[in-house]
Amino acid sequence: MKYEINQGNIPIKLWLDDADIDSMNQAINLSNFPYAFKHIALMPDAHVGYGMPIGGVMATKDVIVPNAVGVDIGCGMCAVKTSFTHIDTANLKRILGKIREFVPLGFNHHKEMQDIAMMPDTESVEDFDSITKREFNSARRQVGTLGGGNHFIEIQKGSDGFIYLMIHSGSRNIGKTVAEHYNNLAKKQNEKHKEIPDKWDLAFLHIDSDDGRKYLSEMEYCVKFALANRLLIMETVQEIVVDIAGHCVFDDSINIPHNFASLEEHFGEQVWVHRKGATPAYLGCIGIIPGSQGTKSFIVEGLGNPESFESSSHGAGRKIGRNRAIRELDFDEEVANMNKLGILHGIRSSKQLDEAPGAYKDINKVMQNQSDLVKMLIELSPLAVIKA
């Protein structure tokens, strides 16, 4: 931990020394949230979000806060080690081309519904008229699709000498629909009681309320859907790799979410830990912390630090916003830096500078700042990247 501030009802513990003013104001709101427990934790990739900083961790008692989970419920990482130690540039280009052909990107979905076996069962939402049941058939066209923003498919070279496949994706439209529905319900309920200012954007639902129970059930489903989404993308990518590069043995996948809430024991009490852009780092937990498309990513092992509610960063974290990146970053410079490293990247025009390495924090500093949260196991250098 870098330092602690006390400007609210509970402390804010920070694993960074470059927090922007908007993120700090949000963190102070969290520290004054009446149901927040013990302290607020800001990971080293923290930057401003909606209601709560991305890279923030808040534990609560008795309530759940949809905005402290976020709109991309269950978003997370998947990585697989291959038996390859090298894939030549020609084959990498062919693999990227095939991935673009078979994995819908951005707002695109599959034209046909995918096999129902690819979908999580709806057992957790069977006893009420849920968003997830209503969106089920639509979601069958979205499972196995990447989405946009900072989501990616990457082929990497590990410090152990092997090639890795990595995917960052989430729950697509079904997660967004669930998040917005329950946040709107929470806002309507909070308007009646006025426990917190509306401008905080931290509307909450009581855990023992009907809507609170429903949100938790739907959130759980979206987390499962996001996992199924990553697994289907990974299965498709693996088939393409074998088809182009030849026989390959794949290790079991590492999968970990970074947008969710879960009931956990911390400091001797049962609390709801909200991780919004924060990776679980329980003792011995194997996690994934990506950089940008021009920098390293890391396979890590959690150290179980109680002060972060056993969490770590979910990536490098944005240094500047998307619009500012497009306005201010130098296209030629960003492209030249990645070309120099031999990376097959996804920046083709200045409109894509929002995902350029220069828009992100220094991943090496981020990792240094959380040396008490995770242990680095493997460094992964990008070879080829796909973004929407």
Active site residues: 314
The residues with which 272 forms a beta bridge, in sequence order, are: 60, 263
Place of tokens 């500012």: 324
Place of tokens 């009931």: 263
The residues with which 273 forms a beta bridge, in sequence order, are: 59, 262
> What beta strand segments (E) does the chain contain?
3-5, 12-14, 36-47, 54-60, 63-64, 76-81, 152-158, 163-169, 205-206, 254-257, 259-266, 269-276, 278-280, 286-289, 297-302, 311-313, 374-386
Joined tokens for residue 203: 């509307």
User: What residues contact residue 71 under an 8 Å CB cut-off, 6+ apart?
Assistant: 50, 175, 176, 179, 180
Find out whether 7 and 24 touch, Cβ atoms under 8 Å.
Answer: no
Q: What CA–CA distance (Å, rounded) separates 30 from 205?
A: 15
Joined tokens for residue 342: 């031999």
β-pairing, 3-5 vs 205-206, is: unpaired
Q: Judging by beta carbons within 10 Å of its beta carbon (0-12, 13-18, 19+), is residue 193 exposed, middle or buried?
A: exposed
Find out whether 116 and 140 touch, Cβ atoms under 8 Å.
Answer: yes
Phi/psi of residue 381, nearest 5 degrees: -100, 130
Which of 210, 213, 218 is closest to 123 using CA atoms? 218
Which of 211, 314, 306, 375 is closest to 13 using CA atoms? 306
